[in-house]
Copies of this chain bind each other. A is one copy, B any other.
């Protein structure tokens, strides 16, 4: 594939930006990659492991002459970064972000950007529970969705160009409205994460069950919760604060549903439980048919990678 952006500036050098840098290098999608991170240690690491061609001490310096600027900082930090870089952006440049919420990012960033700069908010549905510059890997976005929420009047060439970039990483792209994005993600990601965090917290302070028991017997279901409850605390704090309305909406629905099931347990209403569990099973089948997971028996599914890790 050929170069899509001459110079790319990455603001923030964590898991997502690092993986983007490695993916751009692997396929040759950018001529030069410049990076900035607040911490000098992160900047030194990014240089040392070759994530970027050079680092800048300020975001303002990093975006100079950049054709694409990627805001890969926690959502709560977006407004300050946008204000800082705005006067230094090259006319015609594209600014995108990788935040997990979109309405709040639009509100924080758009007012700062000058005319003639294309702002195309984005969100890659990819991640691991690891963070920092050393956590990135080029294949992170392979077969994953990358959602964009351009405004209606957005420049269609600029949108197509950034889509081509992330398709070069192996990602699948989709466009939607920012408000709709936030609701969809509240259902498929944000609320599940909050619930997982909560369940892990409950296990933690239950003294009648020892910590070693929780850990040893986690494969019985709890382990999947701990996996998603181990993600970056700063990022998730910001997600919940910035997607407050949608998360509170879904949480309210969740609690109502849970109380109905809880009452069925208390009253011994087995038919209600059976019918409910039969319905949810059908949804799982839909996900398998859509190719988003495999039906192979795999409660021991990490054995292969665990074995690999031991080698």
The reply to whether B299 and A301 form a contact with Cβ atoms under 8 Å apart is no
Q: Which residue of B lies closest to A289 (CB)?
A: B215
- The distance from the CB of A239 to the nearest CB of chain B, in whole angstroms, is 9
Query: Interface-forming stretch among A53-61, A106-114, A220-228?
Result: A220-228
Write out, one digit per residue, whether chain A residues 216-251 have a CB within 8 A of any chain B CB (1) or not (0).
Answer: 111111111111111101101110110010011011
A195 within 8 A of B: yes
Q: Interface-forming stretch among A43-51, A62-70, A204-212?
A: A204-212
Q: How many copies does the complex hold?
A: 2
A237, B297: Cβ atoms closer than 8 Å: no
Give chain A interface residues in 262-311, CB to chain B under 8 Å: 262, 265-266, 268, 270, 273-274, 276-281, 283-287, 290-306, 308-309
| B interface footprint on A130-170 (CB within 8 Å = 1, 0 otherwise) | 10000101011011110100000000000000000000000
Q: How many whole Å from A228's CB to the nearest CB in chain B?
A: 5
Chain B hits for A187, CB < 8 A: 202-203, 206, 209, 214, 222
Asked if A201 is at the interface of the complex by the 8 Å CB criterion, the answer is yes
- Assess whether A28 is interfacial by the CB under 8 Å rule: no
Note all chain B residues with C-beta closer than 8 A to A81.
Answer: none
- Of all chain B residues, the one with the shortest Cβ separation from A307 is B294
- Complex: A137 Cα to B297 Cα, angstroms: 9
A135 with B262, Cβ < 8 A, contacts A200-B283, A215-B290, A273-B241 known: no
State whether A202 touches B294 (Cβ < 8 A).
Answer: no
Query: What are the 7 tightest A-B residue pairs by CB atom distance, in nearest-first order?
Result: A230-B284, A189-B220, A233-B277, A128-B297, A224-B224, A200-B280, A192-B221
